[in-house]
Structure 1
Amino acid sequence: MSELRLDQVSRWYGNVVAVNGISMTIGPGVTGLLGPNGAGKSTLIHMMGGFLPPSTGTIELDGATIWKNPQIYRHVGLVPERESAYDFLTGRQFVLAMAKLHKLPDPGAAAQRALAMVEMEPAQDREIGKYSKGMKQRVKMASALVHDPPVLLLDEPFNGMDPRQRLQLMDLIRRMAAEGRTVLFSSHILEEVERLATHIEVIVAGRHAASGDFRAIRRLMTDRPHVFLVRSADDRRLAAAIIADGSARSVELSGQGLRVEATDFRRFTWLLPQVARKEGVRLLEVSPADESLESVFSYLVGGAG
């Protein structure tokens, strides 16, 4: 069983900091690397895979430094988010080439086994350029599995997959973890991480924001202040009633309506219609103003800072 250890890892490009002082340990099982687009997840995964050096800090696999250590590639399988296959090759040719690069004793058998694992045998003799996005994702997965690595690094592996393909890949990842492998996959979609990961690492703006199981992370997100935009037939009267009721931390009146910050999401959404009805004010619109992943994770970063 393999373990990845990151100690104060940073990576910058000129004046742009992509990853900032991240420390974490990734062990056997399925770990979800969760964060909005542009958070630094891909940079982190490429450093874990030995394809990119950290500017500062260290990354080790079972005690061995990853950067400039070719032996690491025998133990790691990487599925990058970007396309990394040659479109003029067939799926079988591509996976076979990966098997030969790893100098496997029987590259043909290894390629067939990997293609079978991702259910790509029926399409293995078609050119990759003619594959759908989901099929390209699966053939990349086969290339990462061809040398039977104990560590799998998957960067947004479900992008472009239809629901059936997503379920198949989720089942495969669970099987890999059940065999004792260390599987890390990145995603910006909460539902994917909730269904698959037993442990979650949250990354925002290059920083490590939170760590734990999904229930702990969800609790952090639910307990944060929620901002709503509210429009009504009488905003001033409704604002006064909300303030008097005490169900919100702050209420601001603007030309677009009310900006209400509630500390208790469920209580506020339950009480607001009652307050409006009691005051005889008709609600025209109630919408969350900060429900993007960026705002959720930014709150976590603030709490972690």
Structure 2
Amino acid sequence: MAVISIERVSRWFGNVVAVNDVTMQIRPGVTGLLGPNGAGKSTLIHMMSGFLPASNGTVLLDGQPVWKNQEAYRQIGLVPEREAMYDFLTGWEFVLANAELHGLPDPGAAARRALATVEMEYAQDRQVGTYSKGMKQRVKMASALVHDPAVLLLDEPFNGMDPRQRMQLMELLRQFGSDGRTVLFSSHILEEVEQLARHIEVIVAGRHAASGDFRRIRHLMTDRPHLYTVRSSDDRALAAALIADPSTAGIELDWKERALQIRAIDFYRFTELVPRVAKEAGIRLFTVSPADESLESVFSYLVAAK
């Protein structure tokens, strides 16, 4: 069951359309929200969190409208991309203030717990203005977690973090997803999204471009060839046998890699063809691997298609 339902949502600012007729469902677990700069990701997250009204359409949290719904804020934790923070406060004061604003029965305990979760106790007595970008991201995360929300909306949460901080946050988000929370995050670090998100939503030029597992999305893109790297005991003979089949659009022999680079236009026929042809010709297959199924490749195709 969807926790957040977005139905035919649009948002415009004057003559500029930031989000255009988007429909998607966000369910428990970890979802990655992808799109180039200016695609409308931040605008969409602000509407999901109830900080921005939709110009058209509906945004629902557990079946209830998010806009002007104060009760929704008890369930949502938001980490915005912008660093508009109170730099004169210490990290402790900043997180404690958020705990008090939520009216928690023991705000001090909640603030300590949230800072410990993001491993920021060591710097909690320093002013936020002295923090690095990565440290600011982590203290924003602590403020979003202070009331133990069921839904986390994170806009570019990995920005400015060093590798250790990123790994720690990735593990934390995985755990939240496993615990049944609903986590949606946007990121330009495509490799990390590929590792972390079980589901992706792609926004391009304000429109919903794709939804689901990125490999499944790639297989549905029948108008573009699928690229494969193939290594065998006789690359020349295998290439000669494959090029005659209509499922194969082109084959190149990569001398440096000692492999065939094959463009297939019929995914299902090609995946059945390769082992059969190799067996009939007595050729041993060492490697048959997709060369363009990384999230970056899928994302580039989707952007180009728009």
Q: Residues 206, 263 of structure 1: CA spacing in aligned structure 2 closer, same or farther, 3 A cutoff?
A: farther
Which secondary structure does the structure 2 equivalent of 1:99 belong to?
A: helix
Post-superposition Cα deviations, 1:258-297, rounded to whole Å, max 9, x if no partner, equal xxxx776xx9xxxxxxxxxxxxxxxxxxxxxxx8887522
Which secondary structure does the structure 1 equivalent of 2:45 belong to?
A: helix
Q: Residues 17, 33 of structure 1: CA spacing in aligned structure 2 closer, same or farther, 3 A cutoff?
A: same
How far is 1:300 from its partner? 4.7
Give percent identity, aligned residues only: 73
Alignment RMSD (CA, Å)? 2.8
Amino acid corresponding to residue 76 of structure 2 in structure 1 = V
What aligned pairs does 1:1-305 form with structure 2 within 5 A after superposition? Answer: 3-219=3-219, 224=224, 295-301=300-306
How far is 1:216 from its partner? 1.4
* Structure 1 gap segments, 5+ residues each: 227-245, 250-261, 268-290
Q: Is the 2:225–2:249 Cα contact (8 Å) retained in structure 1?
A: no
Provide the rounded CA distance (Å) in 1 between the counterparts of 2:65 and 2:14: 24
How far is 1:46 from its partner? 0.2
Q: Is the 1:198–1:214 Cα contact (8 Å) retained in structure 2?
A: no
Amino acid corresponding to residue 12 of structure 1 in structure 2 = W
Q: Is the 2:118–2:141 Cα contact (8 Å) retained in structure 1?
A: yes
Post-superposition Cα deviations, 1:230-274, rounded to whole Å, max 9, x if no partner, equal xxxxxxxxxxxxxxxx9879xxxxxxxxxxxx776xx9xxxxxxx
Provide the rounded CA distance (Å) in 1 between the counterparts of 2:297 and 2:215: 19
Amino acid corresponding to residue 34 of structure 1 in structure 2 = L
Post-superposition Cα deviations, 1:32-75, rounded to whole Å, max 9, x if no partner, equal 11111111000000000000000000000001100011111111
Which secondary structure does the structure 2 equivalent of 1:143 belong to?
A: helix
Which secondary structure does the structure 2 equivalent of 1:209 belong to?
A: strand
Amino acid corresponding to residue 145 of structure 2 in structure 1 = L
Q: Residues 293, 83 of structure 1: CA spacing in aligned structure 2 closer, same or farther, 3 A cutoff?
A: farther
Which secondary structure does the structure 2 equivalent of 1:84 belong to?
A: coil
Provide the rounded CA distance (Å) in 2 between the counterparts of 1:203 and 1:28: 20
How far is 1:84 from its partner? 2.9
Q: Is the 1:96–1:111 Cα contact (8 Å) retained in structure 2?
A: yes
Provide the rounded CA distance (Å) in 2 between the counterparts of 1:168 and 1:220: 34
Q: Residues 28, 89 of structure 1: CA spacing in aligned structure 2 closer, same or farther, 3 A cutoff?
A: same
How far is 1:26 from its partner? 0.4
How far is 1:221 from its partner? 6.6
Amino acid corresponding to residue 120 of structure 2 in structure 1 = M
Post-superposition Cα deviations, 1:154-196, rounded to whole Å, max 9, x if no partner, equal 0011111111110000000011111110000012332121111
Post-superposition Cα deviations, 1:90-120, rounded to whole Å, max 9, x if no partner, equal 1110000000000100000000000000000
Amino acid corresponding to residue 303 of structure 2 in structure 1 = S
Provide the rounded CA distance (Å) in 2 between the counterparts of 1:51 and 1:160: 24
How far is 1:219 from its partner? 3.7
Provide the rounded CA distance (Å) in 1 between the counterparts of 2:137 and 2:106: 24
Which secondary structure does the structure 1 equivalent of 2:167 belong to?
A: helix
Provide the rounded CA distance (Å) in 2 between the counterparts of 1:59 and 1:218: 28
Provide the rounded CA distance (Å) in 2 between the counterparts of 1:36 and 1:12: 18
Q: Is the 2:7–2:58 Cα contact (8 Å) retained in structure 1?
A: yes
* Structure 2 gap segments, 5+ residues each: 227-245, 251-262, 271-295
Provide the rounded CA distance (Å) in 1 between the counterparts of 2:80 and 2:222: 31
TM-score, normalised with respect to structure 1: 0.75
Amino acid corresponding to residue 161 of structure 1 in structure 2 = M
Q: Is the 2:2–2:25 Cα contact (8 Å) retained in structure 1?
A: no
Provide the rounded CA distance (Å) in 1 between the counterparts of 2:2 and 2:84: 26
TM-score, normalised with respect to structure 2: 0.75
How far is 1:213 from its partner? 1.2
How far is 1:224 from its partner? 2.6
Provide the rounded CA distance (Å) in 1 between the counterparts of 2:298 and 2:138: 27
Provide the rounded CA distance (Å) in 1 between the counterparts of 2:120 and 2:201: 31
How far is 1:299 from its partner? 3.9
